[in-house]
């Protein structure tokens, strides 16, 4: 079953083509990583798929819903953890989570149990009453991710989820992501190659808005003729592999 | 309800900012006290307590413009709003969610002013009740102005444009601080085409039990409020879809 089908998706800004004729399919329950150097177009792709930026041309379907025509439906089945930490600074950690439950229309009981679940999962218990704006960057990041996970999405977008997390928090987040694998479809971006290799079912490597290579980490390595995934990535991005 | 969850968050963000409360609630109070002291020494008809108080309560609503403009502009600059755009909240949810929390603040501000005025010798009549009641439609006008400014300008510009320009403009053209007949001519004509002086005269009439012109003034205020609100929604929608 296909969860995400992208057909010739393009986003042009005044002088740059951020995403250039991208075509790609992602299966249900798959964890797909978008890789690429800074400015490759990863975030723009996620923004178009989550309907906050309109595509210049091309189509994409999320569980059958078109990003061009069914954005309301899409918004009820996705969750996004943006590249920049996105929390309400004046609200406590708990209130931030309540906000997300509220905008997704959860009942009181459901909100309560989801908040308990997520704060346990991301170890937010100690800071649950603290104001989000007063937390350290890494803790805000964890909250930001919790806010994406809480809505029980069918498709989850994580834009550099582990950015700014300490080693332990990062490995805990990996565990959480692994646990979600197979249950929901996950599209994530990261600059950590070992992370991409360890977690992903498939990866897509982008440069200048174009998809250069796409496949399982093993396929990518054999394509680049190397045992090291990071080296394979570098070779592909530098154009040493056709 | 989804919108309520968002409105709750906005209420918290606004009332947890102590500067908001001190200025919003304290400044009109100071004005009433100060002008009453001056009035006691140099009597001016315009500053008699039953004419001064309705004026100050309307002037105090400029702060509501500032509150609504600031919160929207700040949100637009943060990634929180981007995140909320990926949830099922609609543009109308956003606009109502920003408007609703400010109405009670406007009412509280008005009540505080009237309590002070009673201590300064304002007679307690049913007119006071009407004055507080009619501050609600008037506050919609001022909040709508803020929504529009906040959807157009960034949070730095908002301080200058709403905080300084709009506050001054609405003050000069309102007949609160000087009698518009004193200037007359084009200035007066312009003032009467704009809603501010109508808002003040509406409040003055209902406080003093004169209902003959109420609806004429009310329509001016409401018509402006509705038109500005619609433009604000369209503007918000445009930047949301950009
Ligand atoms: N709002 C915008 N206006 C103009 N250009 C933009 C805008 N957003 C992105 N771009 C451009 O589009 C290109 C792709 O940006 P994007 O943010 O998608 O890259 P990325 O792969 O997420 O990079 P990073 O790894 O740094 O996050 C860049 O050249 C960027 O400058
Ligand atoms: Mg990015």
Q: Give the nearest chain A residue to B86 (CA atoms).
A: A75
Give the Cα separation of A84 and A86 in Å (integer).
6
- As given in the structure block, the two tokens for residue A178 are 């692994």
Q: Is the ipTM of this complex over 0.95?
A: no
CATH placement of domain A2-85+153-237? 3.40.50.300
- Can you give the residue range of the structural domain that contains B74? 2-241
Start-to-end Cα distance in chain A? 30
Query: How many distinct structural domains can be found in chain B?
Result: 1
Cα B136 from Cα B73, distance rounded (Å): 23
Choose among B144, B148, B236: nearest CA to B199. Answer: B144
Place of tokens 């997300």: A100
3 state DSSP class of A167? helix
**pLDDT tops 80 at residue A241:** no
**Interchain CB contact of A86 with B (< 8 Å):** yes
CB pairs under 8 A between A and B: 71
Q: Is A92 on the interface with B (CB under 8 A)?
A: no
Scanning the structure block, which residue is given the tokens 């200058």?
B160
Distances (CA, A) of A26 to A23, A167, A200, B19, B212: 10, 29, 12, 49, 68
Structural contact between residues B207 and B54, judged by C-beta atoms closer than 8 angstroms: yes
Task: Measure A210 CA to nearest chain B CA, in Å.
Answer: 22
Tell me the three state secondary structure of residue A8: strand
Domain ranges of chain A: 2-85+153-237
Phi and psi at residue A9, to the nearest 5°: -70, 130
Rounded to a whole number, what is the distance in Å from the CA of B69 to chain A's nearest CA?
Answer: 17
Per-10-residue mean pLDDT for chain B, 242 residues long? 93 88 87 88 85 93 92 90 92 92 94 94 92 96 94 88 83 86 87 92 92 90 94 88 68
pTM listed for this prediction: 0.88
Option in A50, A95, A103 nearest B12 (CB): A95
- Residue-wise pLDDT for B28-85, tens only, equals 999 999 988 888 888 887 888 988 999 999 999 999 999 999 999 999 888 899 999 9
A72 CB-near residues (< 8 Å, 6+ apart)? B88, B90
Whether pLDDT at A113 is above 70? yes
Q: What is the pLDDT of residue B162?
A: 79
| Letter string b/e over residues A157-186, b meaning 16 or more CB atoms within 10 A of that residue's CB | bbbbbbbbbeeebbebbbebbeebbeebbb
- How far apart are the CA of A227 and the nearest CA of chain B, in angstroms? 38
Q: A7-11, A163-167, B166-170: which range is least confident on average?
A: B166-170
What is the reported pLDDT for A242? 67
Degrees, nearest 5: CA angle A83-B76-A134 = 65
What pLDDT was estimated at residue B40?
A: 85
Which residues are registered as beta bridge partners of A62?
A4, A65
d(CA A57, CA B209): 62
Beta pairing partners, A65: A62
**Interchain CB distance below 8 Å, B2 and A84:** no
pLDDT, mean of residues A60-89: 94
**% of chain A exceeding 70 in pLDDT:** 100
Taking Cα atoms as reference points, which of A80, A88, A74 lies closest to residue A151? A80
Residue A113 dihedral angles phi and psi, to the nearest 5°: -75, -35
Strand partners, A215: A203
Query: In the prediction, which pLDDT does B230 show?
Result: 92
Nearest residue by C-alpha to atom 29 in ligand 1: A39
Which token pair is A35?
């890789």
Contact at CB, A104 and B87, closer than 8 angstroms: yes
* A160/A133 Cα distance (integer angstroms): 20
Is the dihedral angle over the CA atoms B177, B178, B181, B186 positive or is it negative? Answer: negative
> Who among B2, B82, B90 is closest to A86 (CB)?
B82
**Which residue from A82, A42, A60, A4 is spatially nearest to A209, judged by alpha carbons?**
A42
Are the Cβ atoms of B84 and A101 closer than 8 angstroms?
no
DSSP chain B: -HHHHHHHHHHHHHHT-HHHHIIIIIHHHHHHHHHHHHHHHS--GGGSHHHHHHHHHHHHTHHHHHHHHHHHHHHHHSHHHHHHHTSS--HHHHHHHHHTTHHHHHHHHHHHHHHHHHHTT----HHHHHHHHHHHHHHHHHHHHHHHHHHHS-HHHHIIIIIIIIHHHHHHTTTSSS-HHHH-HHHHHHHHHSSHHHHHHHHHHHHTT--TTHHHHHHHHHHHHHHHHHHHHHHHHHHH--
| Spatial contact of A51 and B86, defined as CB atoms under 8 Å apart | yes
Give SS3 for A241: coil
Question: Which pLDDT belongs to residue B164?
Answer: 83
**Nearest residue, CB atoms, B82 vs list A82, A89, A148:** A82
> CB–CB of B118/B193 below 8 Å?
no
**Residue B242: its pLDDT value, please?**
64
**Helical H segments across chain A, by residue range:** 42-49, 71-77, 93-103, 108-121, 137-149, 167-180, 193-199, 217-224, 229-237
- Please work out whether the CB of residue A190 comes within 6 Å of at least one atom of ligand 1: no
């Amino acid at each position: 079953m296909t969860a995400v089908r992208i057909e010739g998706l393009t986003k042009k800004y005044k002088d740059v083509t951020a995403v250039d004729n991208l075509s790609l399919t992602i299966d249900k329950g798959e964890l797909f990583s978008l890789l690429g150097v800074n400015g490759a177009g990863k975030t723009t792709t996620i923004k178009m798929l989550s309907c906050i930026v309109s595509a210049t041309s091309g189509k994409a379907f999320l569980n059958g819903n078109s990003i061009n025509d069914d954005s309301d439906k899409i918004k009820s089945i996705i969750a996004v953890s943006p590249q920049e930490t996105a929390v309400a600074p004046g609200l406590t950690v708990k209130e931030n989570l309540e906000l997300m439950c509220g905008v997704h229309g959860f009942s009181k009981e459901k909100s309560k149990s989801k908040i308990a679940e997520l704060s346990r999962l991301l170890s937010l218990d100690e800071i649950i009453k603290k104001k989000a704006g007063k937390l350290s960057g890494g803790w805000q990041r964890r909250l930001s991710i919790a806010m994406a996970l809480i809505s029980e999405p069918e498709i989850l977008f994580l834009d550099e989820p582990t950015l700014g997390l300490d080693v332990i928090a990062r490995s805990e987040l990996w565990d959480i992501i692994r646990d979600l694998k197979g249950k929901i479809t996950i599209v994530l971006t990261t600059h950590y190659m070992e992370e991409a290799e360890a977690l992903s079912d498939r990866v897509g490597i982008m440069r200048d808005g174009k998809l250069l290579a796409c496949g399982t980490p093993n396929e990518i390595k054999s394509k680049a003729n190397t045992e090291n995934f990071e080296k394979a990535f570098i070779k592909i991005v530098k154009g040493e592999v056709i | 309800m989804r919108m309520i969850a968002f409105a709750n968050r906005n209420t918290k963000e606004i009332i947890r900012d102590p500067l908001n409360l001190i200025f919003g609630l304290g400044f009109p109070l100071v004005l009433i006290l100060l002008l009453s002291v001056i009035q006691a020494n140099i009597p001016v008809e315009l500053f008699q307590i039953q004419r001064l108080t309705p004026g100050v309560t309307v002037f105090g609503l400029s702060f509501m413009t500032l509150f609504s403009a600031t919160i929207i502009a700040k949100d637009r600059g943060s990634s929180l709003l981007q995140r909320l755009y990926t949830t099922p909240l609609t543009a109308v949810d956003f606009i109502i969610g920003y408007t609703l929390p400010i109405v009670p603040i406007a009412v509280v501000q008005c009540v505080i002013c009237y309590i002070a005025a009673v201590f300064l010798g304002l007679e307690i009549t049913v007119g006071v009740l009407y004055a507080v009641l009619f501050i609600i439609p008037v506050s919609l006008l001022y909040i709508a102005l803020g929504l529009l400014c906040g959807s157009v300008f960034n949070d730095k510009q908002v301080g200058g444009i709403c905080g300084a320009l709009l506050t001054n403009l609405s003050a000069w053209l309102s007949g609160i601080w000087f009698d518009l007949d004193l200037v007359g001519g084009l200035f007066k004509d312009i003032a009467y085409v704009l809603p501010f002086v109508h808002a003040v005269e509406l409040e003055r009439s209902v406080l003093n039990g004169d209902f003959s012109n109420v609806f004429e003034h009310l329509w001016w205020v409401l018509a402006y409020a509705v038109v500005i609100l619609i433009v604000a929604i369209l503007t918000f929608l445009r930047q949301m879809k950009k």
